[in-house]
Copies of this chain bind each other. A is one copy, B any other.
């Protein structure tokens, strides 16, 4: 029986009075979190939630977000954490696809609730999990916690569905990655095998978005070691620096773009970061120069890289702290994504899915107890991605003779901007809504802060005129801000095409 709420029961058994969560001026002990989770689960069940029902969450980070993960599992539900950076159309797509019976929102998303409820027919209950007073027509999270008796854990486990995590889709429609209790449990315990020391004065800072599996995995891992979860609503360099100082944070997770902003903050040297011992990073390629800067600016801090994707719950390989060697033998590993975790196999294959020799570039595939159950209601895409138990990652890379993985490119036409996946096709689909556009190609270009930025190249129909801003504004109607082009180039000559009529993006990159 692999079950995700086990860690919470253990934390109560072993560390009842230790600090579980810190947020704003609130502190909860493990016995309090246990109590609150079992009560909120009771409230969900009391309102008709049945095992397997979906519970959607649209909120910035908070201590309650952690409780909601555990309460959803406790009650037998399936959590659907929505992307706070998506626009309302995208999240309505995800909601209509996953058909949750409950929607939880905080104060930042109240405005769009009416639009959601108008477009969605599955949501029977809307719960306010934000600060301050609860708006009318919603149930209040705190009130439910206080007025409901605790329930017994439903004990979903193994291959039972634990969550649906949406990622952008090449089809322009979000894909819901189905992860089981086993998937997330094994990925978490595998992560603990390296680099996490179960000391009870462990404080982890949730600053990356908790809806994203990179951080959600820390919800489970840090609970397994009974560490303290310090939480800030969202990342800004200043709030990150303040929180590390205030909460004596020992470990946090950065996506590379966040890390660059963090180091460049003008008051960086004003903060006491002496508690910080470990930085995890991942979710997008780490520029070597930035990695070297971290090692120089934060000497003595351990670095831990994870490579994976939501489909892998989420990590497949790790570059361990001792593998971060700045100079001499071993320093070539700074360009590596590390080696397979103990619970999964990593291979590189050619187009016919045959193994390629060591050192040869091909598609990376991963098989293990962490590989997703599939995409929710997308059997066709599932069959293309999950082949004989292997997840085809769409990433290109090679393995060296010691099993270190080196990423070289992405096979899927995807840009990773600020740690978020942007599928070119989604952006192209938005741009092509404009009647004046004849051709369009979206590519990633190097960007100092976001690592890659979305760039659009368009060709107008004869006699038409459009401004760059007009195209960018149009995109904002259809897709999340971070997916919209930062820059647009309007070309005279037609875009280069392949024999099959596809735009040759590699040629555009060269230009």
The answer to whether the Cβ of A470 comes within 8 Å of any Cβ in the partner chain is no
Contact A189 B342 (CB under 8 A): yes
A10 interface residue (CB < 8 Å to B):
yes
Complex Cα–Cα for A15 and B182 (A): 28
Q: Does A59 contact B (CB under 8 A)?
A: no
- Known contacts A371-B1, A402-B15; A192/B10 CB under 8 A: no
| Least CB separation from A199: chain B residue | B322
With contact pairs A194-B198, A369-B1 given, residues A10 and B186 touching in the complex (Cβ less than 8 Å): no
Shortest Cβ gap from A151 to chain B (Å) = 17
Number of A interface residues, CB 8 Å?
36
Report yes or no: B189 in contact with A1, Cβ–Cβ below 8 A: no
A342 to B2, Cβ gap below 8 A?
Answer: no
* A190 close to chain B: CB less than 8 A: yes
Copies of this chain in the oligomer: 2
A193–B186 Cα distance when bound, in Å, is 12
Q: Could you tell me if A342 and B1 are in contact, using CB atoms closer than 8 angstroms?
A: no
A9 — nearest CB in chain B belongs to which residue? B345
Which residues of chain B come closer than 8 Å to A225, judged between CB atoms? Answer: 342
Q: How far is the CA of A194 from the CA of B13 in the complex (A)?
A: 18
Instruction: Find the B residue at minimum CB distance from A368.
Output: B1
Whether the pair B13, A403 counts as a contact (CB closer than 8 A) is yes
User: Chain B contacts of A14 at CB under 8 A?
Assistant: 339-340, 402-403
Please pick, from B193, B198, B367, B399, the residue contacting A192 in the complex, using a CB distance under 8 A.
Answer: B193
A229 to chain B, nearest CB (A): 17
- Report A126 CB to chain B, min CB distance, Å: 35
Q: Is A135 an interface residue (CB 8 A)?
A: no
**Distance, CA A16 to CA B198, complexed state (A):** 31
A192 touches B342 (CB 8 A): yes
A343 at the interface (CB under 8 A from B): yes
CB distance from A190 to the nearest CB of B (A): 7
Report the bound CA distance from A399 to B343 in whole Å.
32
Residues from chain B with Cβ under 8 Å of A340 in the complex: 10, 13-14
Query: Which residues from B are CB-within-8-Å of A345?
Result: 6, 9-10, 13
Determine whether the beta carbon of B16 is less than 8 Å from that of A401. yes
Proximity bits, A335-349, B CB within 8 Å = 1, else 0: 000011011111000
Give the complex CA separation of A190 and B343 in angstroms.
12
A7 to B345, CA, bound (A): 9
Select which of B6, B367, B402, B403 is within 8 A of A1 by beta carbon.
B367
Q: How far is the CB of A204 from chain B (nearest CB, A)?
A: 16
A401 to chain B, nearest CB (A): 7
A10 to B340, CA, bound (A): 8
How far is A401 from B339 in the complex, measured between Cα atoms in Å? 39
Identity of the chain B residue whose Cβ is nearest the Cβ of A10 in the assembled complex = B340
CA distance A399 to B14 in the complex (A): 10
A189, A194, A225, A389 interface centre (most CB from chain B within 10 Å): A189
Q: Select one of B2, B13, B192, B399 contacting A186, CB under 8 A.
A: B2
Give 13 new A-B contacts, CB below 8 A, not counting A6-B345, A15-B402, A189-B343: A1-B389, A6-B342, A6-B344, A6-B368, A10-B340, A10-B342, A10-B345, A10-B403, A13-B399, A13-B403, A15-B403, A192-B193, A193-B193
Query: Which A residues contact B (CB, under 8 angstroms)?
Result: 1-2, 6-7, 9-10, 13-16, 182, 186, 189-190, 192-194, 198, 224-225, 339-340, 342-346, 367-369, 371, 389, 399, 401-403
Query: What are 15 A-to-B residue pairs whose CB atoms are below 8 Å?
Result: A1-B367, A2-B182, A6-B342, A6-B343, A6-B345, A10-B345, A13-B345, A13-B346, A14-B340, A14-B402, A14-B403, A16-B401, A189-B190, A192-B342, A193-B198
Q: Which 10 A-B pairs have the closest CB atoms?
A: A14-B403, A13-B403, A2-B369, A192-B193, A224-B342, A1-B369, A14-B402, A14-B339, A189-B189, A189-B342
